[in-house]
């Protein structure tokens, strides 16, 4: 539905945003026309019909579902979250999730009848699926100094619904299974785990090691605190929790650790959704505590119930998560009174993860809750730009956008999916900050966007 100038101003002025303990109202110096992008000008229709961008911005398609890769497999469908890493001699390494399940052969890597399975060693699949393996996993791109695609290959195989994840300071991607699928007639293994995929130029599959101590639940995304190696995690459930994993050996996640869930220190069992009433307002800053989780492989998929009973806070579909600006930002896709989504900010305390953290706990803040789909509708994946803005990927009905949010909480539209009504996914910047990579999830198009970025 078109947004009138009056409607935009009315809705924008009504939105209250929080930033670093203060409250802001979206106030525009001049009434923006429909399609304006703050600081970049209006989005221009794309002659190619893929993505509308502001003047001065361009894009390249670097991958499409179904194209043959260098390993002889096909580019899998449903590309989702991803991250970029520096490579040798100016190259960029991009690791990308694929949110596929068992039986998705038509858009899988192995061919319509799995005829390409013979190109891979069976032992490199986490789940062989009794000869018909799950189609999820990750692919890795190697991009040359000019952004050209040099290699593209499957890097993790035999997993289910690899939705989001997160990059690590030691140069790997943690990919997360958004499922609690148990072993059955079609699956040889239980699912619902995280896996680590090192970012490197070598072509081939990594060893598929389930990081079971990080918990078995409907995983979505992770973010690593560089100073401590603590890994924060979202859970994609309407009553999900926010978790953290304290590894016994930072940087070696498979060596074991402790799983905990986030609690508002003075408000145990807090429902943060704001669906029925405003329990948390934008700008509220809540001291955090963490409760220990037990039986973390959760055969009954009840970790969130266990944590809530211990006092942990509930969140409305935790999805994208990213570390930046000395904090962990995460999206709750259906949070807010109108279920249009929220973005939260968690600032680790000086003693994070140590016995001294009770004296200086971390802080949870509701950063934005627009409650207006014309501003942001159901943000999913997110990233932090090198200059501090957030970039959100919309997963709503109708038009979907890449949406920017400044540190002061100003919201602007950066790009529009002109191809179809699919969600955006996987927003991430190149190591030099010059290129924004993003996916149009269906039918599966990976884009490299460049332009006059702020900063």
- What secondary structure does DSSP assign to 189-221, as a single string? S----EEEEE--S--SPPP--B-GGG--SBEEE
- Residue 369 phi/psi, 5-degree rounding, is -145, 85
- CA torsion 369-424-241-101 (nearest 10°) is 160
- Of the two residues 304 and 408, the one the predictor is more confident about is 304
**What share of the chain has pLDDT > 70, as a percent?**
91
Q: Would you call 426 helix, strand, or coil by DSSP? A: strand
Residue-range domain boundaries for the chain: 1-62+399-455, 65-210
Q: What is the pLDDT of residues 319-345, one digit of tens each?
A: 999 999 999 999 999 999 999 999 999
CB 223 within 8 A of CB 166: yes
Q: What is the pLDDT of residues 12-50, one digit of tens each?
A: 333 323 323 222 323 222 233 333 345 688 899 999 999
Of the candidates 337, 353, 85, the residue with the CA atom closest to the CA atom of residue 198? 85
Which helix (H) or strand (E) segment holds residue 405: the answer is strand 401-405
Q: What is the pLDDT of residues 243-275, one digit of tens each?
A: 999 999 999 999 999 999 999 999 999 999 999
Q: What is the pLDDT of residues 130-170, one digit of tens each?
A: 999 999 999 999 999 999 999 999 999 999 999 999 999 99
pLDDT at 429: 98
- Residue 9 phi/psi, 5-degree rounding, is -65, -40
Cα distances from 402 to residues 84, 104, 163, 448, in angstroms, run 18, 27, 18, 13
pLDDT at 256: 97
User: Has residue 379 got a pLDDT over 70?
Assistant: yes
Structure token pair of residue 355: 């016995």
Say which residue the tokens 């402790």 belong to: 258
Confidence of residue 304 (pLDDT cuts 50, 70, 90): very high
Which helix (H) or strand (E) segment holds residue 12: the answer is helix 5-14
First-residue to last-residue Cα distance in the chain = 34
Buried/exposed 410-425: b ≥16 CB within 10 Å, e otherwise: bbbbbbbbbeeebbbb
pLDDT at 27: 26
pLDDT at 39: 63
Which helix (H) or strand (E) segment holds residue 242: the answer is strand 242-247
> Cis (ω within 30 of 0) for the bond into 202?
no
> Hey, which residues does 440 pair with through a beta bridge?
424, 445
User: Has residue 239 got a pLDDT over 50?
Assistant: yes
């Amino acid at each position: 539905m078109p947004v009138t100038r009056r409607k935009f101003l009315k809705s924008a002025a009504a939105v209250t945003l929080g930033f670093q303990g203060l409250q802001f109202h979206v106030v525009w110096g001049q009434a923006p026309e429909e399609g304006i992008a703050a600081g970049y000008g209006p989005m221009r229709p794309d002659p190619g019909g893929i993505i509308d961008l502001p003047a001065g911005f361009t894009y390249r398609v670097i991958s499409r579902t179904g194209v043959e890769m260098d390993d002889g497999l096909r580019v899998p469908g449903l590309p989702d979250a991803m991250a970029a890493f520096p490579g040798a001699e100016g190259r960029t390494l991009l690791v990308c999730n694929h949110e596929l399940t068992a039986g998705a052969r038509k858009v899988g890597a192995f061919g319509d009848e799995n005829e390409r399975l013979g190109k891979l060693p069976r032992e490199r699949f986490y789940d062989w699926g009794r000869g018909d393996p799950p189609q999820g996993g990750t692919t890795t791109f190697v991009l040359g100094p000019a952004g050209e695609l040099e290699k593209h290959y499957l890097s993790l195989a035999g997993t289910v619904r690899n939705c989001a994840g997160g990059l690590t300071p030691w140069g790997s991607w943690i990919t997360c299974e958004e499922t609690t699928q148990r072993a059955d007639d079609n699956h040889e293994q239980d699912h619902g785990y995280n896996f680590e995929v090192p970012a490197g130029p070598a072509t081939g599959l990594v060893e598929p090691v389930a990081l079971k101590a990080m918990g078995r639940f409907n995983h979505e995304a992770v973010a690593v605190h560089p100073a401590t190696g603590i890994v924060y995690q979202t859970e994609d459930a309407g009553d999900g929790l926010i978790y953290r994993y304290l590894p016994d050996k930072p940087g070696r996640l498979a060596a074991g650790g402790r799983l905990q869930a986030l609690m508002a220190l003075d408000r145990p069992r807090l429902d943060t959704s704001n669906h029925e009433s405003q329990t948390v307002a934008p700008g509220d800053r809540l001291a955090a505590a963490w409760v220990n989780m037990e039986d973390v492989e959760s055969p009954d998929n009840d970790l969130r119930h266990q944590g809530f009973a211990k006092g942990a806070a509930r969140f409305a579909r935790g999805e994208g998560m990213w570390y930046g600006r000395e904090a962990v930002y995460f999206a709750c896709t259906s949070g807010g009174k109108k279920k249009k989504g929220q973005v939260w900010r968690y600032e680790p305390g000086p003693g994070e993860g140590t016995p001294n953290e009770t004296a200086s706990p971390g802080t949870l803040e509701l950063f934005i809750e627009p409650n207006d789909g014309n501003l942001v509708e159901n943000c999913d994946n997110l990233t932090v730009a090198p200059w501090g803005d957030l970039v959100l990927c919309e997963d709503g009905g109708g038009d979907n956008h890449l949406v920017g949010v400044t540190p002061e909480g100003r919201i602007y539209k950066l790009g529009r999916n002109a191809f179809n009504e699919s969600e955006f996914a996987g927003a991430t910047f190149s190591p030099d900050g010059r290129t924004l990579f993003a996916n149009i999830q269906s039918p599966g198009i990976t884009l490299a966007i460049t332009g006059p970025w702020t900063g």
